[in-house]
């Protein structure tokens, strides 16, 4: 019995230990990362209970978590990075992170946290980075840092703090970085952070700082004070300013008595400067914008400098110069004349007009950016001096076309970004001589045509992005020359791909000709795309294939993917699939990740999954899976296999079963061969137990059991014979075989052939009237129920016979059938009462003297037979039925 219970427990084991996670998906191939974002998670405990204890990173952002149960993350002993941003947390009362001693980074950004208990972070002995921006904090006690002995970074921007002051009981000797951006801070005391190196106080407009505000912070190097009164920075001690290496501040030059150079006095160690000029114009009285030496890294934001074609920007050597949204209208060589050694130049968000010689002196330039500058036309002469330029960005402009050879002077260019423009076509010489170009981004234009040979000189190109255009036609010749192309992105177009200039929207066998180095292709979201069975034959090194937003219901996917033996990741997103073929990939495939989201797949083919021997990640979300026996194997496999993770397993819905809304809840036991076998085993075992019990009962209480069976049969027979039987015999004679001589010699002649000439009686005898081939019990029963009376010839031999006892009991049961007492006893000898004790009914009859005693005197025997015949012929139906039932009760009890 115990083994059976254990078997049942094992057979009905919970699915909690399977390789699937509730509301989460384990990253691949970086399996130490768990993604649980944007899954409408409310109950954090249910999710964390299924997370493996070796996970180091969990992203739980964009959910509906309101409460963190105490010690919720204690079981994930290796957890180092936890992201709980964009949830609905209101407060931290303490104990929430108990047991998470390995945590290094905690992100609580964009919640509704208004209060934090001083013990909230107790136990986080390894925490280095704490993020609390975009909350509703009015105050925060420095005492919270007492429980963070390793803390290095704290981000408290965009809260409602009015002050931040150290207390005697709080502080940290390890804190290096403190961000208090955009609060309402008026007073500040950070003396309890002696090793502070970075503090951001920008956008605290009412901030006031004492001269010695940072006297206890001798290692302070970075101080950001944008959108704070300039006098706050100027008023700091000389010692503080002398140690600074990076400063950011705001200054409205036109109304302030201070200049940028005035602000920098005493800051002799600056290497990086960021100035927000708040819309200031270029000073008319000074021919130089910055007439003092400024750091190597200079950023100027939000100015209105206008035409500086004849105005030098400043003095001194520069390595990086960022002029962002400075209102530049015209620039020339003079503008940058003093910055000839600059390597990085950004002119983003300026509606600038450039002369041909603007960059003549910038021969060391390696990075140049003109993002959001409303540029329409590109002058090839701009780039002639830029022999060392590696990266050029012209993103988010209004460029309509590229002239032939426009970039031909940039022979060392490695990266070119032209996305978010208005390009309509690409000419055959647009990228001529760019032999060293590695990355080219032409996405999000309105390109509808690319001339053949446009990329012929791009021998080193490894990345090409053509997504988000209006390309309708591509021929194989377009990719000619791209012998080192490794990643090709082509989705979100209006493609009709015509092989050889002809066809009906099919990528033909020659489209990827010569692309043996290509390892990543993304295509889809187009009007009409299909694949020739040999389309991917040239892609012998392809490892990643992304196909989305096209109709491939009728495509022979097995034939298309058969050459892709090295493919490791395959995404087939929203391509109108009803099923996946069993031979989706070639037999010797190396596929590790398969994503088939948002299709019409109802049943997962087991043969297909079995053929993917190296599969580690399967995403089949957003499909109408059926919870039927066809998917029973998939449910069991998804839960119990330890090799392949089924993404968001516990979120997979049943499409057709209201009783089991989720696949993992589907009761598949009736589909299981093992379950049927177990049921059969259990049934047979139960039958064996019952059989053994019956045998033991028969052995120990045989007569009682037999008597109960007789009662049952009598009840059944009584129902069948309720209409009234027709008797075949007048009497059935029950006797012991040892008394057979008396029956043959005396009873039969006198009853069947009486000497007086009276009609004889019809008697039923064992040896004469029992039907051959019929069971003895059945013969006895038939004889009793087909006879009007049962005559028991009682002797000591009769009492010792089991068959005689059975016949007596069956005859007694006639009371239950028709209410008649059919027994007639004939005693051939005197029998002591103690010999009758086992026979309750027999003893009762004897006590009432309702029996016939065989006389020993011959002269009395004639009267005996007269009385015997009268007893057999008399009407016994007037015998009281209730008395018969009373006697039966005595018989049973």
Q: How many CB atoms lie within 10 A of CB 266?
A: 15
- Residue that has been written with the tokens 């059935």 in this structure: 732
| Mean pLDDT across 695-712 | 62
Which DSSP string do the residues of 476-527 spell out, in sequence order? GGGGTT-TT--EEE--SS--B--GGG-SSSEE-TTTTTT-TT--EEEEESSS
> What's the pLDDT at 150?
96
Per-residue pLDDT band for 686 (boundaries 50, 70, 90) equals confident
Q: What angle do CA 106, 112, 118 make, to 5 degrees?
A: 60
Could you tell me the CA-to-CA distances from 347 to 322, 344, 369, 441 in Å, in that order?
A: 6, 10, 6, 20
> What's the pLDDT at 889?
36
pLDDT at 3 over 50: no
Phi then psi for residue 79, to 5 deg, are -65, 125
Q: What one-character DSSP code corresponds to residue 767?
A: H
Per-residue pLDDT band for 166 (boundaries 50, 70, 90) equals confident
Which DSSP string do the residues of 593-643 spell out, in sequence order? EEE--SS---S--HHHHHT-TT--EEE--SS----SGGGHHHHHHHHH-SS
> What's the pLDDT at 892?
34
**199 class by beta-carbon count within 10 Å (0-12 exposed, 13-18 middle, 19+ buried):** buried
Question: What three-state secondary structure class fits 302?
Answer: coil
**357 class by beta-carbon count within 10 Å (0-12 exposed, 13-18 middle, 19+ buried):** middle
Structure tokens at 9: 């427990």
Q: How many CB atoms lie within 10 A of CB 561?
A: 25
For residue range 362-377, what is the model confidence (pLDDT) as tens digits? 999 999 999 999 999 9
The matching CATH number, chosen from 3.40.1360.10, 3.40.50.10140, 3.40.1160.10, 3.40.50.1220, for 727-892 is: 3.40.50.10140
Which DSSP string do the residues of 257-277 spell out, in sequence order? S--HHHHTTT-TT-SEEEEE-
Which of 118-127, 502-511, 519-528 shows the highest mean pLDDT? 118-127
Among 654, 638, 642, 595, which residue's Cα sits nearest to residue 620? 595
587 in Cβ contact with 611 (< 8 Å): yes
789 in Cβ contact with 783 (< 8 Å): no
287 in Cβ contact with 261 (< 8 Å): no
400 in Cβ contact with 427 (< 8 Å): no
Q: What angle do CA 779, 782, 788 make, to 5 degrees?
A: 130
- Residue that has been written with the tokens 């002029």 in this structure: 323
Distance, C-alpha 385 to centroid of its chain: 56
Which DSSP string do the residues of 801-843 spell out, in sequence order? -HHHHHHHHHHHTHHHHHS---EEEEESS---GGGGTT-HHHH
Which DSSP string do the residues of 667-680 spell out, in sequence order? --GGG-HHHHHHHH
How far apart, in Å, do the first and last CA atoms of the chain sit? 35
> What's the pLDDT at 657?
63
Could you tell me the CA-to-CA distances from 84 to 24, 41, 108 in Å, in that order?
A: 14, 11, 5
| Mean pLDDT across 167-187 | 90
> What's the pLDDT at 850?
67
532 in Cβ contact with 504 (< 8 Å): no
Per-residue pLDDT band for 111 (boundaries 50, 70, 90) equals very high
| Mean pLDDT across 533-545 | 94
Q: Helix H segments across 37-86?
A: 44-48
CA distance 274 to 295: 10
Per-residue pLDDT band for 497 (boundaries 50, 70, 90) equals low
Per-residue pLDDT band for 178 (boundaries 50, 70, 90) equals very high
| Mean pLDDT across 543-566 | 92
Question: What three-state secondary structure class fits 129?
Answer: strand
754 in Cβ contact with 760 (< 8 Å): yes
> What's the pLDDT at 820?
66
For residue range 618-668, what is the model confidence (pLDDT) as tens digits? 999 999 999 888 888 998 899 889 899 999 888 888 887 666 788 888 877
**353 class by beta-carbon count within 10 Å (0-12 exposed, 13-18 middle, 19+ buried):** middle
Q: Which of the two residues, 753 and 137, has the higher pLDDT score? A: 137
Q: Which of the two residues, 761 and 236, has the higher pLDDT score? A: 236
Domain coordinates of the chain in residue numbers? 673-723, 727-892
Could you tell me the CA-to-CA distances from 546 to 351, 463, 609 in Å, in that order?
A: 39, 15, 19
2-11 and 673-720 are packed helices; what angle lies between their axes, rounded to 10 degrees? 130
Q: What angle do CA 471, 473, 474 make, to 5 degrees?
A: 100
Among 857, 876, 854, 874, which residue's Cα sits nearest to residue 865? 854
| Mean pLDDT across 48-71 | 92
Which DSSP string do the residues of 209-258 spell out, in sequence order? --TTTTTT-TT--EEEETTS-HHHHHTS-HHHHHH-SEEEEE--TTT-S-
| Mean pLDDT across 113-135 | 94
222 in Cβ contact with 244 (< 8 Å): yes
> What's the pLDDT at 330?
92
Q: b/e for 159-194, b at 16 or more Cβ within 10 A?
A: bebeebebeeebbbeebbbbbbbbbebeebebbbbe
Residue 143: which residues within 8 A CB-CB, separation 6 or more?
A: 118, 167, 169, 170
| Mean pLDDT across 113-134 | 94
- Tell me which of 574-583, 677-686, 755-764, 837-846 is least confident: 837-846
- Model-level pTM greater than 0.95? no
> What's the pLDDT at 416?
98
For residue range 469-496, what is the model confidence (pLDDT) as tens digits? 988 777 777 888 899 999 999 888 776 5
Element (H, E) at 321: strand 320-324
CA distance 352 to 359: 14
Could you tell me the CA-to-CA distances from 843 to 609, 727, 732 in Å, in that order?
A: 81, 28, 21
- Tell me which of 47-56, 555-564, 779-788 is least confident: 779-788
545 in Cβ contact with 569 (< 8 Å): yes
CA distance 233 to 228: 9
Q: b/e for 45-77, b at 16 or more Cβ within 10 A?
A: eebbebbeeebbbbbbbbbebebbeeebbbebe
> What's the pLDDT at 847?
66
CA distance 361 to 468: 37
| 569-573/57-59 β-pairing | unpaired
> What's the pLDDT at 658?
63
> What's the pLDDT at 891?
36
Q: Give the chain's length.
A: 893
Structure tokens at 179: 């961000």
- Residue that has been written with the tokens 């493919």 in this structure: 567
For residue range 414-432, what is the model confidence (pLDDT) as tens digits? 999 999 999 999 999 999 9
Q: Which of the two residues, 881 and 190, has the higher pLDDT score? A: 190
Among 322, 281, 335, which residue's Cα sits nearest to residue 303? 281
Question: What three-state secondary structure class fits 281?
Answer: strand
CA distance 537 to 560: 8
> What's the pLDDT at 503?
35
- Residue that has been written with the tokens 């392949």 in this structure: 644
pLDDT at 465 over 80: yes
């Amino acid at each position: 019995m115990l083994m059976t219970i254990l078997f049942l427990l094992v057979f009905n084991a919970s699915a909690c230990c399977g390789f699937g996670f509730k509301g989460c998906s384990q990253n691949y191939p970086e399996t130490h990362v768990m993604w649980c974002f944007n899954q409408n998670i409310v109950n954090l405990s249910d999710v964390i209970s299924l997370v493996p204890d070796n996970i180091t990173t969990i992203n739980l952002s964009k959910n509906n978590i309101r409460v963190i149960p105490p010690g919720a993350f204690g079981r994930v002993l290796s957890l180092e990075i936890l992201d709980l941003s964009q949830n609905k947390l209101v407060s931290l009362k303490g104990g929430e992170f108990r047991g998470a001693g390995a945590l290094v980074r905690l992100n609580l950004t964009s919640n509704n946290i208004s209060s934090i208990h001083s013990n909230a972070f107790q136990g986080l002995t390894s925490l280095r980075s704490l993020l609390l921006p975009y909350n509703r904090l009015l105050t925060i006690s420095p005492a919270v840092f007492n429980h963070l002995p390793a803390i290095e970074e704290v981000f408290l921007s965009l809260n409602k703090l009015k002050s931040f002051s150290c207390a005697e009981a709080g502080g940290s000797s390890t804190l290096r970085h403190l961000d208090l951006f955009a609060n309402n801070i008026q007073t500040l005391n950070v003396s309890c952070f002696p090793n502070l190196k970075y503090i951001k106080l920008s956008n605290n407009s009412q901030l006031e700082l004492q001269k010695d505000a940072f006297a206890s912070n001798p290692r302070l190097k970075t101080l950001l004070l944008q959108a704070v009164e300039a006098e706050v920075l100027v008023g700091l001690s000389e010692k503080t300013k002398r140690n600074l290496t990076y400063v950011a501040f705001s200054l409205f030059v036109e109304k302030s008595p201070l200049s940028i150079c005035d602000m920098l006095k005493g800051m002799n160690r600056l290497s990086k400067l960021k100035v927000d000029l708040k819309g200031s114009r270029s000073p008319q009285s000074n021919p130089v914008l910055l007439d003092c030496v400024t750091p190597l890294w200079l950023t100027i934001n939000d100015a209105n400098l206008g035409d500086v074609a004849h105005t030098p920007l400043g003095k001194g050597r520069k390595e990086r110069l960022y002029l962002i949204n400075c209102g530049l209208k015209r620039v020339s060589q003079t503008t940058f004349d003093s910055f000839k050694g600059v390597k990085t130049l950004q002119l983003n968000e300026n509606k600038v007009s450039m002369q041909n010689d603007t960059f003549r002196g910038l021969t060391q330039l390696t990075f140049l950016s003109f993002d959001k500058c409303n540029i329409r036309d590109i002058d090839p002469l701009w780039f002639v001096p830029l022999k060392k330029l590696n990266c050029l960005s012209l993103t988010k402009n209004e460029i309509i076309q590229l002239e032939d050879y426009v970039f031909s002077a940039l022979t060392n260019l490695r990266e070119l970004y032209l996305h978010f423009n208005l390009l309509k076509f690409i000419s055959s010489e647009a990228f001529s001589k760019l032999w060293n170009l590695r990355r080219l981004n032409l996405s999000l234009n309105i390109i509808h045509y690319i001339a053949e040979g446009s990329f012929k000189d791009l021998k080193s190109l490894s990345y090409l992005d053509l997504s988000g255009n209006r390309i309708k036609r591509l021929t194989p010749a377009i990719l000619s020359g791209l012998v080192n192309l490794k990643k090709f992105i082509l989705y979100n177009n209006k493609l009709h791909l015509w092989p050889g200039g002809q066809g009906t929207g099919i990528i033909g066998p020659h489209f990827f000709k010569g692309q043996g180095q290509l390892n990543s292709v993304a295509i889809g979201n187009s009007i009409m795309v299909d694949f020739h069975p040999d389309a991917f034959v040239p892609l012998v090194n392809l490892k990643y294939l992304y196909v989305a937003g096209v109709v491939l219901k009728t495509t022979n996917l097995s034939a298309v993917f058969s050459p892709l033996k090295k493919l490791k990741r395959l995404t087939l997103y929203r391509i109108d699939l009803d099923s996946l073929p069993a031979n989706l990939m070639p037999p010797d495939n190396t596929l590790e990740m398969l994503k088939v989201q948002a299709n019409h797949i109802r049943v997962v083919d087991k043969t297909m999954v079995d053929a993917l021997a190296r599969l580690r990640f399967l995403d089949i979300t957003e499909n109408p899976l059926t919870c039927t026996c066809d998917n029973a194997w998939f449910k069991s496999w998804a839960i119990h296999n330890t090799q392949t993770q089924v993404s968001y397993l516990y979120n997979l819905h049943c499409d057709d079963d209201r009783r089991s809304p989720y696949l993992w809840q589907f009761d598949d036991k009736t589909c299981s061969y093992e379950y049927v076998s177990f049921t059969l085993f259990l049934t047979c075992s139960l039958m064996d137990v019952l059989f053994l019990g019956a045998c033991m009962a028969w052995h120990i209480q045989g007569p009682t059991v037999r008597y109960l069976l007789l009662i049952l049969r009598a009840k059944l027979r009584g129902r069948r014979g309720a209409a009234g039987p027709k008797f075949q015999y007048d009497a059935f004679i029950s006797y012991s075989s040892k008394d057979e001589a008396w029956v043959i010699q005396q009873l039969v002649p006198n009853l069947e052939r009486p000497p007086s000439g009276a009609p004889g009686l019809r008697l039923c005898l064992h040896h004469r009237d029992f039907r051959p081939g019929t069971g003895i019990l059945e013969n006895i029963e038939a004889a009793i129920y087909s006879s009007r009376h049962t005559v028991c010839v009682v002797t000591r031999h009769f009492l010792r016979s089991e068959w005689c006892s059975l016949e007596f009991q069956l005859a007694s049961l006639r009371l239950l059938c028709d209410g008649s007492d059919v027994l007639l006893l004939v005693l051939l000898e005197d029998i002591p009462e103690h010999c009758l004790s086992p026979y309750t009914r027999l003893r009762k009859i004897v006590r009432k003297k309702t029996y016939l005693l065989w006389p020993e005197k011959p002269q009395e025997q004639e009267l005996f037979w007269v009385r015997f015949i009268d007893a057999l012929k008399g009407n016994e139906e007037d015998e009281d039925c209730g008395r018969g039932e009373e006697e039966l009760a005595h018989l049973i009890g």
